[in-house]
Amino acid sequence: MTSAESSLAELPPRGLWVQGAQTARLPWRFDTPAALAEVNALPASLWRTHFNEGRHDGGWQALALRAAPEAPIDVVPVDVAASRYADTPALDQCPTLRAMLDTMALPWKSVRLMQLLPGCEIKEHTDADLCVGRGEARLHVPLQTGERVFFHVDGERIPLRAGECWYVDVSRPHRVRNRGTLSRVHLVADTSVDMRLVDALRASDCGDPLPDADDPWRQFIQFRDLVGTNADYAERLSTITNLADFVRESVHMGQAAGFQFDASDVESAMKAGRRAWTEQWVL
């Protein structure tokens, strides 16, 4: 066990636990209007479409505030020591963002602004080994968000609000949908785990719940429960052998029954089922 894992093993069971890992609202709070004004003043040419093109539908963008010279492009995090990372010229134009980072005083590695345009989606994926148990953490500070932004980790909605600071275990399956009318803008900062972060995790909580009514994943769960009790629905789906047809018919049946969810909800549920089946054989 590493020293980071040993320290974290002593943490009390606070925050939102997801499959044994903690996703937690940390005690830092920030005023965001000045920071957002700085972000909006940055040249549009600095934003890059996220490099993992297979993980989104085109509306996910990133802008580097700290980067490593070893990286192929500035928005790509690489596995080097925090000392190898350096501030970019964009951070010099954002004194409020710099003050946020200085307040937390952590050993920062990659620091980026991440933007998800209205109506767009980050598909379910994992960032391998990027979690506190492995000695590295990814923190999110929402600068602009809303109740119709849906961030899910392992099927649990994370209630991120503007100005809060969250540790998110991105080594677990996660995805984001922006169903609002404004871009979702986050400060996303990677840090090595040190005792200051451990203390912040000890002081963490699970945040304040967001309304569930419009959550598409919640709508899908309700539809899935309906299928489990409705023989006609179950029979219609059981006869479909093509995956794409199954997903399409599930969404169509759900809409006809008054549920508003997406194809990605069906796909995520199927992936979760496959993971559960596989993990039962792992001792």
Q: Output the CA angle 246-252-254, nearest 5 degrees.
A: 100
> Collapsing DSSP states into helix, strand and coil, what is residue 24?
strand
Q: Are 173 and 100 in contact (CB under 8 A)?
A: no
Helix ranges (H only) for 115-215 are 195-202
Helix orientation angle between 216-229 and 243-256, rounded to the nearest 10 degrees: 90
* Among 70, 73, 65, residue whose Cα is nearest residue 115: 65
Cβ atoms of residues 62 and 40 within 8 Å: no
CA dist., res. 28 & res. 45, Å (int): 31
Q: DSSP code of 205?
A: B
Strands 108-116 and 184-192: antiparallel
In whole angstroms, what is the distance from residue 196 CA to residue 209 CA? Answer: 26
Residue 192's Cβ-side half-sphere holds a number of Cα atoms within 13 Å equal to 12
> How many whole angstroms separate alpha carbon 156 and alpha carbon 24?
12
Tell me what pLDDT residue 19 has: 42
What string of pLDDT tens digits covers the 283 residues of the chain? 455 445 555 544 445 544 445 799 999 999 999 999 999 999 999 999 988 777 888 899 999 999 999 999 999 999 999 999 999 999 999 999 999 999 999 999 999 999 999 999 999 999 988 999 889 999 999 999 999 999 999 889 999 999 999 999 999 999 999 999 999 999 999 999 999 999 999 999 999 998 888 899 999 999 999 999 999 999 999 999 999 999 999 999 999 999 999 999 999 998 888 777 777 776 5
pLDDT for 266 equals 94
- At residue 16, the pLDDT reads 55
